Amino acid sequence: MEAEQLNDRIRGSLAVLIDSADELRDLDQALGDGDLGITISAGSAAVIAALEQLPAEATPVDIARASAKAFANANPSTMAALVAGALLAGSRVWADVADVTIADAQAFAAAAATSIAQRGKTQIGDKTILDGLAAVADALVDQTDADEALDAAITAAAAAVENTKHLQSRRGRASWLQERSIGMADPGATALQRFVESWKIAGVDVK
């Protein structure tokens, strides 16, 4: 995927993701402080605006860095900082990338997951967005067909969200609920699932 198409696809997917703001707000009100819907909608709108301003010669790295800066500046929340850090970490593996391949996408997701694990001081099983992101990164390993890779990523993200329902939250405000957090899906992992799903919806107009 060339940089121009990547830019279009990201903007299209984020426009779809904004429609999930109410769902994410409701989930976050049950487990957190209820600001995830605002974080996602404001951050997505800011990224869309920033990418619209990039020059035609912008590279995948430029796109990732602009997205990180815009998302972070749109919100003062912890999630915004984690997402921005993850995007910057992913951008570093694209230093020499002109056309993003499935392998490049997998490397980006893996680097982003590592960033969130380190910055958020969390691990898989703590019931966070990391559960979903790590699952997506694993699902993309050795994939060679774009459509099959995306379907695998969507399936993995959805399964990760379902798995979080059986876990106790161990990070963030949700951890205060202790055993009461069991039975509810993690909002961050759900946001990741909705983003991956929106990537496919946006792709209908791109192909």
> What does the pLDDT look like over 6-22, one tens digit per residue?
999 999 999 999 999 99
Quickly state the pLDDT bin for 93 (edges 50, 70, 90).
very high
Planar angle of CA 173, 158, 166, nearest 5 degrees: 50
Mean pLDDT of 73-101: 94
Alpha-carbon distance of 112 to 145, in angstroms, equals 22
pLDDT digits (tens, 9 = 90+) for 102-154: 999 999 999 999 999 999 899 999 889 999 999 999 999 999 999 999 999 99
In whole angstroms, give the CA distance from residue 65 to residue 87: 7
φ/ψ of residue 183, rounded to 5:
105, -10
Q: Does residue 206 register a pLDDT over 50?
A: no
Residue 172 banded pLDDT, cuts 50, 70, 90? low
CA distance 111 to 109: 5
Taking residues 84-104, what's their average pLDDT? Answer: 96
Confidence of residue 48 (pLDDT cuts 50, 70, 90): very high
What pLDDT does 30 receive? 79
Q: pLDDT value at position 177?
A: 47
Q: What is the mean pLDDT of residues 59-70?
A: 98
122 vs 180, residue with greater confidence: 122
The SS3 call for residue 160 is: helix
Token pair of 189, please?
């992992």
- One-letter amino acid at 91 equals S
**% of the chain with per-residue pLDDT over 90:** 74
To the nearest whole percent, how much of the chain has pLDDT over 70?
90
Tell me how far the alpha carbon of residue 97 is from its chain's centroid. Answer: 20
Residue 27: per-residue pLDDT: 87
pTM: 0.91
Domains and CATH numbers, the chain: 3-206 (1.25.40.340)
pLDDT of res. 14: 96
Give the CA diameter of the chain. 51
Report how far apart, in Å, the C-alpha atoms of 33 and of each of 27, 50, 144, 176 are: 10, 27, 40, 11
Give the mean pLDDT of the chain.
Answer: 90
